[in-house]
Structure 1
Amino acid sequence: MAANEDQEMELEALRSIYEGDDSFKELGPSSFQYRVGDIGDAKAFLIEISWPETYPETAPNISMNAFFNNQISPSVKHSILKKLQEEVEANLGTAMTYTLFEYAKDNKEELMENHQPFNNVISLIGCESTSEATHANLSSKKKEKKEQLTKAQKKKLADKTDHKGELPRGWNWVDVIKQLSKTGSSNDDE
């Protein structure tokens, strides 16, 4: 049971540290993703870490099989995983998910030094005018992805909004009365 307690503590720490960080994603209570680099960055990559039941006494599972990493060659992925595995061995027995994500962030350039961006490969294969046209088409097709909502989330949102789909005035206001009563009661105690 000690491993589960360690996992709970690490889970709380990760949630606290990465709160509001768009690069971090909790896939489940023992599975996490972190995007190293910005979305438009050719050297950005995604690391997925999942904990086995006996983690942190045993190594976490580290994967780079996410679709986001399809532009990265297998040799570069293998190199990144090898370096992360060295970090795992150095930190075995301790909570290391944060350490692994931060190591990847701090060493992004070194980890991706042999990476050839997809557009460079195209210009080597075809003529430059073709690659420029392809690049222009790819960048024009890139649009900001909308967040997908479940039916329940859509229904809940529809219940909160008016006929125009807008939230009512004051939906995010702080309840001043509650705040005043809390501060008033704490002042009375002093």
Structure 2
Amino acid sequence: MTANEDQEMELEALRSIYEGDECFKEISPVSFQFRVGDLEDTKAFIMDVTWPETYPETAPQISLDAFFNNRISADTKQLILSKLDEQVEASLGEAMMYTLFEWAKENQEALMENHKPVVTAVTLTSSSDATAPASTGKKKEKKEQLTKAQKRRIVNRTDHKGDLPRGWNWVDVIKHLSKTGGKDDN
């Protein structure tokens, strides 16, 4: 069999095995993503696998560069890739995707044992915050919380779009003239 026939057979098998499985995603006929672990699991990771033209005679390209993996340290990624490469080397020349994916699922704990989530905080600052020195020790003002009754009153005063009705701030002409007097009251 040629490499392309082997790839077609393995692709057909992967489609039937992982049909409806949210962990497996076919990007193209030679590129796949496989999530190891649940979405909420901090030790979950996504493997990007791409087959070269001569796969399975040559190793597939495995990457952990998916955005989902940003919380995994570079050392942990390197460990995972080296362990996956060992599995690939043992299976060269035969269809290995199912075996590789299942091995990663079974060994997730061992692969992620030294995992400490990388925390990358994005802070947005306005121009006024950026100019103020950080060491002043001022606490940010808390936004005032409205009660349900206050919110209800605001909603009752506005229309369905959240706009106040036309003339809501107009002065009552009769009251105004009674207080100030008219032209004839000179």
Query: Please, what TM-score do these two structures have when normalized by structure 2?
Result: 0.63
Which residue of structure 2 lines up, in the alignment, with residue 17 of structure 1? Answer: 17
Which residue of structure 2 lines up, in the alignment, with residue 79 of structure 1? Answer: 79
Aligned equivalents of 2:118, 2:42: Cα separation in 1: 8
Aligned equivalents of 1:66, 1:118: Cα separation in 2: 15
Q: Which amino acid aligns with 2:95?
A: A
Aligned equivalents of 1:78, 1:49: Cα separation in 2: 15
How does 1:20-59 map onto structure 2 within 5 Å? Answer: 20-59=20-59
Bigger radius of gyration: 2
Aligned equivalents of 1:15, 1:69: Cα separation in 2: 24
Aligned partner of residue 34 in structure 1, secondary structure: strand
Which residue of structure 2 lines up, in the alignment, with residue 110 of structure 1? Answer: 110
Aligned equivalents of 2:73, 2:108: Cα separation in 1: 15
Aligned equivalents of 1:81, 1:23: Cα separation in 2: 19
Structure 1 segments unaligned to the other structure (5+ residues): 123-190
Aligned equivalents of 2:3, 2:18: Cα separation in 1: 22
Q: Which amino acid aligns with 2:3?
A: A
More helix by share: 1
Aligned partner of residue 47 in structure 2, secondary structure: strand
Q: Which amino acid aligns with 2:50?
A: S
Q: Which moved more, 1:14-23 or 1:1-10?
A: 1-10
Number of residue equivalences:
121
4+ residue segments displaced more than 4 Å:
none
How does 1:27-176 map onto structure 2 within 5 Å? Answer: 27-118=27-118
Aligned equivalents of 1:7, 1:114: Cα separation in 2: 35
Aligned equivalents of 2:66, 2:76: Cα separation in 1: 14
Aligned equivalents of 2:101, 2:48: Cα separation in 1: 9
Aligned partner of residue 105 in structure 1, secondary structure: helix
Aligned partner of residue 4 in structure 1, secondary structure: helix
Give the C-alpha shift of residue 55 in structure 1. Answer: 0.3
Give the C-alpha shift of residue 98 in structure 1. Answer: 1.0
Give the C-alpha shift of residue 118 in structure 1. Answer: 4.1
Give the C-alpha shift of residue 99 in structure 1. Answer: 1.0
Aligned equivalents of 1:58, 1:115: Cα separation in 2: 30
